[in-house]
Amino acid sequence: MRQTKKNVVEVSYAVAEAVKQCEPDVMAIYPITPQTHISEKLSQMAADGEVSAEKINVESEQSAISACIGAQAMGLRAYTATSSQGLALMHEILFIVSGMRLPIVMTVVNRSLSAPLSIWNDQQDSFSQRDTGWIQLYVENGQEAYDTQIQAFRIAQETNLPVMVCMDGFMLSHVYEPVEYLAQGHVNGFVPRYKPGYALNPDKPVTMGTLGTPHYYVQFRKQLQDALLASKKTIMDVNSGFRSSFGRGYGDGLIEEICMKATPPMKKGTSRKHALITIGSVTGTARDVACKEGLGIIRVRSLRPFPEEELRKACSGLDSVGVLEKDISLGANGSLFDEVKAALYSLRDGPVVSSFIAGIGGRDITMDDIRDVCTKIKAGREVREWVM
């Protein structure tokens, strides 16, 4: 269906709009490049009375997330956003949020980490927080950033788990592109009022995140792990619910398979032998190249919970796959590569898995770069390379 007018907006503003429509009660945000346009827009909205949330100006990201803990523990809906060093500064608190099962929603506008100082995009910042017990969803484009922001509030409160919506800094956050907004009534219908299981209330005192002696701590950790694994279903259900309500969905919610089925000039009935595994906005550029090169694309949308079974299923029967990612676990490999490889290890006749580290520190990933990666994947030999 062709619209006559498209709502072309900066993606950061679309995200701010989605947050506004989800009606948070408290927004505690410390501005940092490239998250600033979200933070500025929400401040403007709060000042203009467009959003009723209390906007707390904090002195650091550690304070921002801590203020969110206080708010969410009171039974309110809390939101924050950050990037890079800001996310790193939140690190110790992130465990507390998930351990206390507070469904805080945070937008991470991905940026590399210092040193050397860089404001540009890669995904080292959120990848390095993947063990903190937060759900992490990575989006490909502006529309998905907007839609996922709305889904995140619902996923969070249905699972009592915090959610990070990760979007590439600049590559997405500062791009003007068409984003279709939902009507406020539809958002309200999709994200019901938050009803906390427990809330701080002087009339009915509780202690949250109490002391966990070894006997108890392990049980709570297992409980948290089980909740994260179970959240897969919630993420999938919310994705399919969104699709049936509004006509937009993203794969099965956890991964998206792109041109994995044979298309001309391939023979009908034959299937792809090679695939590129991607995460985030680079998938867009890959769409234009990989399919033409005869490869399918498997995009990881949910890094946590990790779609282990889904990836095994998607990759079974393939000869080779290559993981293209914007992060590096220094001293090891790209983290997505390591996790994909581990997931596929026990697959009978599983594919060769190659690693391509690309787009680090904002290095542009060109169509030629991806073509080159595709050629190497098709060669079927395992390689581990940096695209630079």
Partner 1 sequence: MKERLNPGAVADSPGSSKQNKTGSWRSFRPIVTDKCVGCGLCVQYCPEACIEIKDVKGKKTAVINYDFCKGCLICLGECPQKAIKSEREKK
Partner 2 sequence: MAKEMIEIRIHGRGGQGSVTAASLLAIAAGHDGKYSQGFPAFGVERRGAPVRAFARISDEPITIRSQIYNPDYVMIMDPTLCELPEIISGIKPETVIVINSKEGGRKFRNKTYLYDATTLALELLGRDIVNTAILGVFAKATGLVSLKGILEAIDREFPQKLAEKNKELVSRAYRETGS
8 Å CB contact between 23 and 53:
yes
Q: Report the partner that residue 374 touches, choosing among partner 2, partner 1, none (CB closer than 5 to 8 A by kind).
A: none
**Which contacts qualify for 113-118: CB closer than 8 Å, 24 or more apart?**
113/84, 113/85, 113/88, 114/84, 114/85, 118/361, 118/362
Report the sign of the C-alpha dihedral through residues 270, 273, 274, 277, in that order: positive
Binding-site member from 209, 284, 294, 361 for partner 2 (CB under 8 A): 284
Tell me whether residue 209 or residue 361 sits nearer to partner 2 (CB atom). Answer: 361
Identified binder of partner 2 from the candidate list 119, 200, 259, 347, rule CB under 8 A: 119
C-alpha–C-alpha distance, residues 221 and 101, integer Å: 11
- Choosing from 52, 210, 219, 366, the residue that interacts with partner 2 (CB under 8 A) is 366
Least CB distance from residue 95 to partner 2, whole Å?
32
Tokens of 196: 């906390």
Q: Among residues 25, 158, 177, 338, which is the contact residue for partner 2, using CB under 8 A?
A: 177
3 is a site residue for partner 2 (CB under 8 A) = yes
Shortest approach of partner 1 to residue 158 CB, angstroms?
13
Q: Which amino acid is at 109?
A: V
Helix (H, G, I), strand (E, B) or coil at 245: helix
Q: Which does 5 bind (CB under 5 to 8 A by kind): partner 2, partner 1, none?
A: partner 2
Under the binding rule (CB under 8 A), the answer on residue 348 touching partner 2 is no
CB closer to partner 2, 209 vs 294? 294
| Contact residue for partner 2 among 281, 302, 333, 354 (CB under 8 A) | 281
Among partner 2, partner 1, none, what binds residue 107 when CB lies within 5 to 8 Å by partner kind? none
Q: Which of 127, 170, 190, 356 binds partner 2 (CB under 8 A)?
A: 170
- Binding interface with partner 1 (CB under 8 A): 99-102, 160, 197-198, 204-210, 212, 216, 219-220, 223, 227
Select from 71, 87, 97, 69 the least CA-distant residue to 32: 87
- DSSP readout, 162-174? -EEEEEETTTTTT
CA–CA gap between residue 245 and residue 197 (Å, rounded): 27
CA distance 233 to 239: 10
Report the alpha-carbon distance of residue 36 to residue 81 in Å, rounded: 9
Q: Contact residues for partner 2 (CB under 8 A)?
A: 2-8, 10, 34, 119-121, 141, 170-172, 174-178, 281-285, 287-288, 362, 364-367
